[in-house]
Homo-oligomer: A and B are copies of this chain.
Amino acid sequence: MSLITALEAHDIRFPTSRELDGSDAMNPDPDYSAAYVMLRTDAPGGLSGHGFVFTIGRGNDVQTAAFGALRHLVVGRSVEDVLSDLGAFARSLTADSQLRWLGPEKGVIHMAIGAVINAAWDMAARVAGKPLWQLIAGMSPEQIVDLIDFRYLSDALSPAEALQILRAAYPGRQQRTERLLASGYPAYTTSPGWLGYSDEKLARLSREAIADGFHTIKIKVGQRLEDDVRRCRIAREAIGAEHGLAIDANQRWDVGAAIAWLRELQSFDIAWIEEPTSPDDVLGHAAIRRGIAPMPVSTGEHTHNRVMFKQLFQAQAVDLIQIDAARVGGVNENLAILLMAAKFGVRVFPHAGGVGLCELVQHLAMADYVAISGSMEDRAIEYVDHLHEHFVDPVRIRHGRYLAPMKAGFSAQMVQASLTRFAYPNGAVWRESAP
């Protein structure tokens, strides 16, 4: 029997604010960061599991400290027990009654739990010798249902309904796996559209995105209406009428302001407006959606758990959703969200970018395609082209599509040199820039 011997926490930060990469209406100067967790074991071959929470700088220390509160639930447990029932493992973390008070199931403590659950999944995929998406896609419908905490979901999705969705997708799994291996999964790119970029850079990067094979780009909006009108025109002209132009307000508006503002952008044939208002405002999203129809409405990267997603579906508040691999309670909760999306017929455009989010979320989208929704050509995974070099198994993009990852694991592991160099505050990159 092998044991989990340590839960290591690392505060890793990249000084991205120096270049204004990632600037938007609510986040003018992010330093993309990871509260990184490593589960060590005494299993043969130095088996370990890796996970992280993405943050944008300050507070990454708080997020990293939260891992400490989970040690007593993880260290000393049998590797075999944990990996043989990842549903029970996930529930044992979210159900700690004292820690639950800090959420429940939201914010710092829930994101820390999600990263530890993801690290256990990384370990499970390594042991299985498969990339995570194939590990999930190889499970029986019953095994997948057992992974999910249906608490608070049963009025929208029962275990029996989940089983029905998974069984319906079962026969086509092999064919879809082959298709994925052959041609990858569609991507869209946000790289052209950061608010800090000049008009010239926006136009150039938009043209390059289409030339690179992307069919949809996304630009940031919400600072000044006249700028948004001009930038939408520039982007639309650069990509042509046949490609998708999505916009992202990063929670900038109140409900009424969102409706008024977005009506001024109707003529640019917007693919979706993302995060028009507070991520907590389910009814607000529903009101905005009614107010700007037929422009599609979306949210999700800050939607903190399955109960909030459930309500977005029930209230018909969104046309599509972003899932995020590092915001909710790990793979398990994202499977619940994907199953609800399938039931309610809502398309999924996973949130990525930041640091490592592309690496993680591609696995969830591909597992969804093979085993749940059975569909990928009407959806796409966000792609942003920075910080991939810090990962052992970085994403591979070809002609605007994510190639299926092939290495065993969840692609979450950072290279050791980056863990050292970007450690905060004592890594070389931070020492060099200290005043």
Give A16-70 interface residues, CB cut-off 8 Å to B. Answer: 26-31, 55-59, 61-63, 65-66, 68-69
> Does A216 lie at the interface of the complex (its beta carbon under 8 Å from any beta carbon of B)?
no
Residues from chain B with Cβ under 8 Å of A302 in the complex: 104
> Does A155 lie at the interface of the complex (its beta carbon under 8 Å from any beta carbon of B)?
yes
CB nearest neighbor in B for A27:
B97
B152 touching A59, Cβ below 8 Å: no
Interface string of A317-356 (1 = CB under 8 A from B): 0000000000000000000000000000000000000000
| Measured CA separation A278–B284 after assembly (Å) | 20
Given A97-B28, A107-B102, A254-B153; A58-B62 close (CB under 8 Å):
no
> Does A154 lie at the interface of the complex (its beta carbon under 8 Å from any beta carbon of B)?
yes
Please tell me which stretch of A307-315, A381-389, A402-410 contacts chain B, meaning at least 4 of its Cβ atoms lie within 8 angstroms of it: A307-315
> Does A283 lie at the interface of the complex (its beta carbon under 8 Å from any beta carbon of B)?
yes
Assembly stoichiometry (copies): 2
CB nearest neighbor in B for A30:
B98
B98 touching A57, Cβ below 8 Å: yes
Contact of A31 among B29, B98, B107, B284 (CB under 8 A): B98
A106 touching B107, Cβ below 8 Å: yes
Given A107-B106, A152-B277, A283-B314; A59-B101 close (CB under 8 Å):
yes
A71 → B minimal CB distance (Å): 11
> Does A305 lie at the interface of the complex (its beta carbon under 8 Å from any beta carbon of B)?
yes
| Measured CA separation A280–B110 after assembly (Å) | 14
A62 → B minimal CB distance (Å): 5
CB nearest neighbor in B for A100:
B26
A27 touching B311, Cβ below 8 Å: no
CB nearest neighbor in B for A112:
B62
Give A270-303 interface residues, CB cut-off 8 Å to B. Answer: 277-284, 287, 302
A287 touching B155, Cβ below 8 Å: yes
> Does A208 lie at the interface of the complex (its beta carbon under 8 Å from any beta carbon of B)?
no
Residues from chain B with Cβ under 8 Å of A26 in the complex: 97, 100
A17 → B minimal CB distance (Å): 9
> Measuring CB to CB, which residues of chain A are less than 8 angstroms from any residue of chain B?
26-31, 55-59, 61-63, 65-66, 68-69, 72, 96-111, 150-155, 251, 254-257, 277-284, 287, 302, 304-305, 307-308, 310-311, 314-315
Lowest 3 CB-CB distances: which A-B pairs, in order?
Answer: A107-B107, A108-B108, A58-B98
Q: 5 extra interchain contacts, Cβ-Cβ under 8 A, other than A30-B97, A58-B98, A105-B278?
A: A66-B108, A102-B107, A104-B302, A281-B310, A283-B314
